Chains A and B, each alone.
Chain A
């Protein structure tokens, strides 16, 4: 028994050490530097909470929070709708089911930057030309160049890329629903719509919860999408908080200040995730 325990210990320790070294330690360092005026190198002094106070006065940070939440909420809802639809389709007894599943998973294995550059090409050259040919003036402008609509372009690309992963989770969920429940429902005369709402959806509720939480968390930390599509522009219209922290911290030499921003954001995300889990899990239990 004792040797067995030692073996397990030896298996976990390297992971714990590595995790601490490359994850927890930098996090603590970040918290430490958020109380300094460090610019990333050179001398620094402690400045107390002034970085934190200044974040709240920073219009650019507020607008980044606004964009990030708008983007994350809309994308999360869309991703969950689309991936549930795709999952139900792929779970049905269709031809080429396995091939289709593989194809629908493709976006997930592509790098976001590559997808971003392809979408940028589509928005900049392909769509305006197509719209010009058909004669729709409203679409002949590159939406990424318009401060009011650029975020929609980012949403389209992010949703396209993210549906794949959530579809897999929903598919896994759908496989757990036993077939005889449907048979019973069909005998009782429930139509497909009712069967979905009364059987499928409640049965996969835990998967819905985890998909919502994961999607929201990923979209709140959106970074690659923005860098590939707009770089935060036009103006600051599509600057997410991660992009702001990166560009302000490294390009602007505000390492300490943006560390404070990152700490605040970390707290916000943790609070949100906990809240989301609580609410959605309560719903699972009720049903």
Chain B
């Protein structure tokens, strides 16, 4: 009896160990690096670029791993102490957390950072917080928080792209009077309220809001009334089913010509075009203020590369990152992904993105406010609820309370 059990247990145990050791270097001396990506949209592009890299660099193999719901998965893997070598994530709160925990290699002063627009490096610095020294990620691609519009419909209504808040409201009113749906909201998915909120709050909120809020100098209640009121005003130009429609359904409806304006970032444009390749789309930065100069484009680091400190092959990882930053690779990525390069002087020639090119050219860029909200606060859910209930005071109080409470949980 006893003899027959031992091999099973040993077998099961060794299976467990084997799966834990999958990351080791192969026997023939090639270095294998795991690249963990939080985007599923760009897998095909990455694979092409990786193939090119492997051809040029014998002895290094890159294994791309881009699961759905990647940020959560990355956290669960960190819990298990099972680290990838390179991570490519967005410049959001997760990045701040990883640097805070001291898990990323410092690239300050590295030649890789030389050509990158300072605005994006500043964003990373701000995410890392005051206590952290250095820059632990290499920005690669940027995104833009925009209003997507149906060019054909705007022409039919005899309107131009609005440049001030009043013009924008006027355009919405005209669209409504003409029997169109002015804004196609998709509020069943809480996060789809964020593009609008980020535009409004990104332009109007006080400088260094997140830091000063955490220090108790400012509160949402004092500073965000105007933003909340503006969100409510936009809501009047929605449609009957806006709380029952989600992001995917919304993309399809907008592609089919429902709605004149659509609050989404540049990432939604390729999605809309898959439904209707002939859709005549344009984008602009939401004019939140009546002073056109204040209306900056909200843009953030969509993709950055960072190397985990625990990797056994930091040189090879750096080699890969600098390869990706070379102009040829960068341009291929940007054109295939309709993204924006963070390199100075490299501008998108995507015709759909024409409307925001001047903003990039002139550096009229501001960062996503919600990237600085504490992770786990769930701002999007509170905003979604606020839009439904419409109670400004209760909403702002709740934002303040959740923010303060989160500080107690670490």
Q: What is A's interface to B at a CB cutoff of 8 Å? A: 6-7, 10, 14, 37, 39-43, 50-51, 54, 57-60, 123-125, 128, 140-142, 144-147, 231-237, 239, 247-248, 250-257
Q: Is the CB of B71 within 8 A of A251?
A: yes
Contacts of A239 in B (CB 8 A): 381
Q: Is the CB of A252 within 8 A of B375?
A: yes
Query: What would 18 more interface pairs be, CB under 8 Å, given A144-B188, A145-B188, A234-B243?
Result: A7-B1, A14-B5, A42-B101, A58-B405, A59-B401, A60-B378, A124-B188, A141-B240, A147-B385, A234-B381, A235-B388, A236-B378, A247-B376, A251-B71, A251-B75, A252-B374, A253-B75, A254-B406
Contacts of A257 in B (CB 8 A): 409-410
Complex CA distance for A215 and B384, rounded to whole angstroms: 32
Q: Is the CB of B381 within 8 A of A128?
A: no
Smallest beta-carbon distance B405→chain A, Å? 6
Question: Within B219-276, which residues are at the interface with A (CB < 8 Å)?
Answer: 240-241, 243-246, 249
Contacts of B101 in A (CB 8 A): 39, 41-43
Smallest beta-carbon distance B11→chain A, Å? 12
Q: Is the CB of B409 within 8 A of A54?
A: yes
A59-B401, A253-B97 in contact; A128/B241 too (CB < 8 A)?
A: yes
Residue of B75, B102, B401 with most partner-chain A CB within 10 A: B75
A145-B188, A252-B375 in contact; A237/B405 too (CB < 8 A)?
A: no
Complex CA distance for A185 and B249, rounded to whole angstroms: 59
Q: Is the CB of B388 within 8 A of A251?
A: no
A246's nearest neighbour on chain B, judged by CB, is B72
Smallest beta-carbon distance B323→chain A, Å? 28
A244's nearest neighbour on chain B, judged by CB, is B378
Q: Is the CB of A251 within 8 A of B375?
A: yes
Q: Does B78 contact A (CB under 8 A)?
A: yes
Complex CA distance for A144 and B249, rounded to whole angstroms: 15
Smallest beta-carbon distance B387→chain A, Å? 9
Q: Does B79 contact A (CB under 8 A)?
A: yes
Residue interface bits B198-215, CB-to-A below 8 A is 1, else 0: 000000000000000000
Q: Does B76 contact A (CB under 8 A)?
A: yes
Complex CA distance for A220 and B368, rounded to whole angstroms: 37
Contacts of A233 in B (CB 8 A): 188, 190, 381, 384-385
Q: Is the CB of B9 within 8 A of A14?
A: yes
Residue of B79, B100, B187, B240 with most partner-chain A CB within 10 A: B79
Which residue in B103, B240, B244, B382 is a CB contact (below 8 Å) of A235?
B382
Which residue in A57, A142, A236 is a CB contact (below 8 Å) of B381?
A236
Complex CA distance for A46 and B101, rounded to whole angstroms: 16
Contacts of B382 in A (CB 8 A): 235-236
Query: Which 9 pairs across A and B sit closest by C-beta, in order of nearness?
Result: A252-B376, A142-B244, A235-B385, A42-B101, A145-B243, A41-B78, A145-B244, A257-B409, A40-B79
Q: Does B20 contact A (CB under 8 A)?
A: no
Smallest beta-carbon distance B249→chain A, Å? 7
Complex CA distance for A233 and B244, rounded to whole angstroms: 11
Q: Does B408 contact A (CB under 8 A)?
A: yes
Contacts of B102 in A (CB 8 A): 42-43
Contacts of A6 in B (CB 8 A): 1
Smallest beta-carbon distance A120→chain B, Å? 9
Contacts of A252 in B (CB 8 A): 374-378, 406
A sample of 28 inter-chain contacts (CB < 8 A) reads: A10-B2, A14-B5, A37-B410, A39-B97, A41-B75, A42-B101, A43-B101, A54-B409, A58-B405, A124-B245, A128-B244, A142-B243, A144-B188, A144-B244, A145-B187, A146-B243, A147-B385, A233-B190, A234-B381, A235-B384, A236-B385, A251-B75, A252-B374, A252-B378, A252-B406, A253-B75, A254-B409, A254-B410
Q: Does B130 contact A (CB under 8 A)?
A: no
Q: Does B278 contact A (CB under 8 A)?
A: no
A144-B244, A147-B388 in contact; A255/B79 too (CB < 8 A)?
A: yes
Contacts of B81 in A (CB 8 A): 41
Q: Does B126 contact A (CB under 8 A)?
A: no
Smallest beta-carbon distance B58→chain A, Å? 34
Complex CA distance for A50 and B410, rounded to whole angstroms: 10
B97's nearest neighbour on chain A, judged by CB, is A253
Contacts of B76 in A (CB 8 A): 40, 250
Contacts of A54 in B (CB 8 A): 405, 408-409
A230's nearest neighbour on chain B, judged by CB, is B188
Q: Is the CB of A41 within 8 A of B190?
A: no
